[in-house]
Structure 1
Amino acid sequence: MTGIRRAPPGRAGRMRLRHSLDVAVRGADLLEQKLRILRAEHRRLLRVAEAAARAWEDLLSEAESWLLRGLLLGGEQALDAAAASIASAEVTIDWTVSMGVRHPAGVTTSVPVRPSTAAAPTNTALVHAEAAYGRAVRAAGEYAAAHAAAELVGAEVVGTRHRVRALRRHWIPSLREALDRADLALEQAEHEDGVRRRWASRAAGGGGSATGR
């Protein structure tokens, strides 16, 4: 937050401070509403990410178990032969916006199918391992998207919370103090102006009496 600019003296300055204070209070209220929504969304995304992490770990464990069996049955040569014709998976991220925060909403993972012309794995365990790793890759993509979404929304929660604190603890109190000083100065100026007018009125009245004599 930047410092408060010096307001011009008089009623114009007081009106400017009053307007700035009203804007700051409305802004803080809106940010607090946003913060409540973001916190709820962040909690939801954390639950989604935790569930996705467990699913990915379970599927990865299953795939590694089948891989170990395949290695024991056919050795590394069988694994190399089975992996030679497998292409890389493709991941497409779907994006959304929540309260101004752009984050992943999900992913579409395309795991390539073994070409019909390619030789099949030499043992059944490697066939199961291939399928299990395909499921694990999809789960990994879902976890990565959920984790990234939770991280991005969580960062916005922190940033919004800091902005609310800055408004509530520093900016709004400073504006209120400045407004109080402006009220006091305006009241004092009006009082002094009233005193001057009374003195001027009395002086004018006294002058008229002296002329009459």
Structure 2
Amino acid sequence: MTGARRTPPGRAGRLRLRHSLEVAERGADLLEQKLRILRSEHERLVRAEKAAASAWRDQLPEAERWLLRGLLLSGERALGSAAAGIGPAEITVHWATSMGVRHPAAVATSVPARPPTAAAPTNTALVHAEAAYGRALRAAAEYGAAHAAAELLGAEVISTRHRVRALRRHWIPRLREALDRADLALEQAEHEDSVRRRWAARTAEDGGAAAGQ
């Protein structure tokens, strides 16, 4: 309430307090509107995160099962031989902005194809494992992006809610209280000034009457 304490007395101070109150109330309204939109978007992102997490949990065990079968059939050397010469996968994150919050919106996953010079897997289980791990990688990337987006929007929801609460519960009531005090003080000052003017006028009339006698 530092601003209210520094408000000058009189009409100028009351006008300043009214302006500050209007700005605070308009700001709280806008923040509440933003909060409603953020909550809706956050709920959507949380649902997307849960779906992506479920897909990733489904894909990973399948890939691990095929890998285990391939290792049991041909041993670990076969895995190293099948992986030799294959480049790393690439993940590109596409970003978007929602209500001022920048967050991942989508991901593009590129799994390199097996080059002609690379040795082919020694059994079909490893072939299935390679394809399954590609799907699991895509699912993991989508889950990571969805999780990050939900986290970022969730943090903004909390921050905006705190700002609205600070305005509604603290700043606006204090401004209203200060404005009420300013109105009362101005009304009292105007009343006292009116009393002084009437007293001065009556004194002048009495003095003029006495002089005429």
Give the Cα separation in 1 of the matches to 2:114 and 2:58: 24
Alignment correspondent of 1:174: 174
Aligned Cα RMSD in Å?
0.9
Question: What TM-score results when the alignment is normalised by the length of structure 2?
Answer: 0.97
Q: Aligned residue for 1:66?
A: 66
Residue in 2 aligned with 1:133? 133
How many residues are matched?
212
- How big is the shift at 1:89? 1.0
Deviation at residue 87 of structure 1 after TM alignment? 1.4
Q: Does the alignment pair 1:4 with 2:3?
A: yes
Deviation at residue 57 of structure 1 after TM alignment:
1.0
1:126 Cα deviation (Å)?
A: 0.5
> In structure 2, what is the Cα distance between the partners aligned to 1:64 and 1:163?
47
1:26-62 per-residue CA deviation (whole Å, 9 max, x = no partner) reads 1111111111111111111000000000101111111
2:82 and 2:58 map into 1 onto residues whose CA distance is 23
Q: State the percentage of identical aligned residues.
A: 76
Letter in 1 for 2:106: G
What are the equivalent positions in structure 2 for 1:14-163 lying under 5 Å apart? 14-163=14-163
In structure 1, the residue matched to 2:209 is 209
Describe the SS at the equivalent of 2:75. Answer: helix
- Structure 2 distance, partners of 1:36, 1:92, is 31
Q: Distance in 2 between matches of 1:83 and 1:160?
A: 49
The TM-score normalised by the length of structure 1 is 0.97
Kept in 1, the 8 Å contact 2:84–2:119? The answer is: no
1:94 counterpart letter in structure 2: H
Q: Deviations over 1:72-109 (max 9, x none)?
A: 00111111111222211111111111111111101011
Q: Distance in 2 between matches of 1:200 and 1:83?
A: 105
Alignment partner of 1:140: what SS?
helix
Moved segments of 4+, more than 6 Å: none
**Residue 4 of structure 1 contacts residue 175 of structure 1 at CA under 8 Å; is this kept in 2?**
no
Q: Structure 1, residues 134-157: CA drift from partner, whole Å, max 9, x if none?
A: 111111111101000000000000
Query: Which residue number corresponds to residue 183 of structure 2?
Result: 183
How far does residue 4 in structure 1 lie from its aligned partner after superposition?
2.9
